[in-house]
Amino acid sequence: MGSDLHGTANAAGRLPPCGTITHNACVTRHDPEQRSSARADPTPRRRARDARGRAQNDRPRDALGRPLPHGATGVPRQPEGIARTPEETLDLGQDLLDHHRPFHAHDVFEDHWKQTAGADKPLWRGLAQLAVGITHAARGNPAGAAAVLDRAATTISPFAAAPPFGVDVPGIRAWCADRSARLDSARSQPEPTWLEPPRLQAGRQDGFASRSGAPETGGPQ
């Protein structure tokens, strides 16, 4: 979070797989529009830094995490470093997906992935990848979306036999395979596509906000 758009390449010159770098880099690597946007403003700016002196990206972003001009009104990011239970993480992540905020859902899942040291750690990485795939599709990048959804299905596959926290691993994998196939067939005519997100937990019919009476929000702006 709050890092450069491009991430850091490894010794072979390739970016590491999604889930090992920030969401901005995961999305940007497949998104020429965002890469060109990052190069459009050659004016040097003083980078915002956190309390440890690490560079942060303070550029405003839209609902799908795309950079906006400095001074524009963006959609606030999810706060980092929030300690949540697995159930709270799933609730919030589902709510953000249901309200067309996959970029922000990724932040929530990645936050939990970073804070988890148990055997379920790859599960949260896979859910973060799921959110990245949905973000790609909404940005009009079907090829990138299909690739990341395939990766998400592979990442969570070890949990299919005994899914923790009620996560519907078989259902999510089937959803990823179906949407990936549809997106792959549409790569010749890329256009923004909203993928109705899967239910993260078996038997669940709605998101946390709907159950709590919170109002629905519109699609990505």
Question: Which is it for the CA torsion 163, 91, 107, 96, positive or negative?
Answer: positive
Give this prediction's pTM. Answer: 0.70
Contacts of 36 (CB under 8 A, 6+ apart): none
Q: How far is CA 126 from the centre of its chain?
A: 10
Please give the span between the terminal C-alpha atoms of the chain, in angstroms, as a whole number. Answer: 21
Query: Are the C-beta atoms of 162 and 135 separated by less than 8 Å?
Result: no
- What is the model's pLDDT at position 61? 92
Q: Select from 94, 125, 91 the least CA-distant residue to 22.
A: 125
If residue 105 lies in a helix (H) or strand (E), which one and from where to where? Answer: helix 102-115
Q: What is the pLDDT of residues 105-156, one digit of tens each?
A: 999 999 999 999 999 999 999 999 999 999 999 999 999 999 999 999 999 9
> Residue 21 carries which DSSP code?
S
The domain at 86-212 falls in which architecture?
Orthogonal Bundle (1.10)
Task: Report the alpha-carbon distance of residue 195 to residue 175 in Å, rounded.
Answer: 10
Query: Are the C-beta atoms of 30 and 147 separated by less than 8 Å?
Result: yes
Q: Where are the domains of the chain?
A: 86-212
Q: Which carries the bigger pLDDT value, residue 52 or residue 115?
A: 115
Confidence of residue 47 (pLDDT cuts 50, 70, 90): low
- What is the model's pLDDT at position 172? 98
What is the identity of the amino acid at 58? Answer: D
Q: What is the pLDDT of residues 164-199, one digit of tens each?
A: 999 999 999 999 999 999 998 888 888 999 999 999
Q: What is the pLDDT of residues 6-37, one digit of tens each?
A: 333 333 333 344 444 444 555 544 444 455 55
